[in-house]
Structure 1
Amino acid sequence: MSKKCIHTEKAPAAIGPYSQAIQKGNTIYVSGQLPVDPSTGNFPSDHIEDQTRQSLTNVKEILQQAGATLEDVVKTTVLLQDIGDFTAMNGVYAEFFKEECPARAAFQVAALPKGAKVEIEVVAVVD
């Protein structure tokens, strides 16, 4: 069973030697998504809420390209520039994951690419 690269123009292109997502069997691994608006190449704003919303929108678009939805997500990892943004990030996160929420890890890192406040990766499983 070979792996399949997933790519959509509705999410920002990879900024390095990696894929937006890889599907192997019924599992989809979405690379960490920065809050880059693919239509502008910029962050929507400097606010954690806007950046979280954009990162999760990018995840959603990549999953849709693979024939999956946010309901198929079983695990997320949220990287924050400042753990003090956790509550605000969590409020937006709850707009995207409402029921049977995926398992999650969230932690502060020293820095994120392009000075982002958040980066989110997910693993989804489709039937």
Structure 2
Amino acid sequence: MSNRINISSGSPWEDIVGYSRAVRIGNIIEVAGTTAVVGDVLIGGDSMYEQTKFILQKIEKALIAAGATMNDVVRTRVYVTDISRWEEVGKAHGEVFQSIKPASAMVQVSALINQQMLVEIEATAIVTAP
């Protein structure tokens, strides 16, 4: 069995809720639902585009800490609070993944944990041998 590596973002919520920003087992990395928050500060305001850009940067940092890159992402799951604004999210997602093209889903949810959060993204990466 491969060793498990938990990647922390340093958020106090990880211990309270019992989760990691990312988990790597073998060559598979799962990145938890990620929002545009640092501490108590929401990044991007009411812009789904800006929130998505920041979220993808947070995901990239977690992947790097786990020994991967965005090129290793094979799946994203995007949760939005207003699907009518999907193009804002799609634009930011496409700027990162246009040539990588992971499998992806975008779904509307009734709410995220904080009403100012408009987007949450999960990612799966598979690291191939160098």
TM-score (norm 1): 0.89
* Superposition map of 1:68-79 within 5 A: 68-79=68-79
SS of equivalent residue, structure 2 residue 114: helix
List aligned pairs for 1:1-127, cutoff 5 A.
1=1, 2-8=3-9, 13=11, 15=13, 16-36=17-37, 38=38, 41-44=40-43, 45-115=45-115, 116-127=117-128
Return closer, same or farther for 1:64/1:104 CA change in 2, 3 Å cut-off: same
Between 91-100 and 27-36, the greater mean CA deviation after superposition: 91-100
Question: Equivalents in 2 of 1:105, 1:93: separation in Å?
Answer: 11
Q: 5+ residue gaps in structure 2?
A: none
CA contact (8 A) 1:28 1:123 kept: yes
User: Offset at 1:69?
Assistant: 0.6
Supply the distance in 1 between the matched residues of 2:30 and 2:78 (Cα, whole angstroms): 14
One-letter identity of the residue aligned with 2:106: A
C-alpha RMSD of matched pairs (Å): 1.4
Secondary structure of the residue that 1:114 maps to in structure 2? coil
Percent identical: 34
What is the alpha-carbon distance in structure 2 between the residues aligned to residue 111 and residue 91 of structure 1?
22
Once the two structures are TM-superposed, the CA of residue 95 in structure 1 deviates from its matched residue by: 1.1
Contact residue 9 and residue 20 of structure 2 kept, 8 A: no
How much has 1:7 moved relative to structure 2?
A: 2.2
Q: How many residues align?
A: 122
Structure 1 unaligned segments of length 5 or more: list them: none
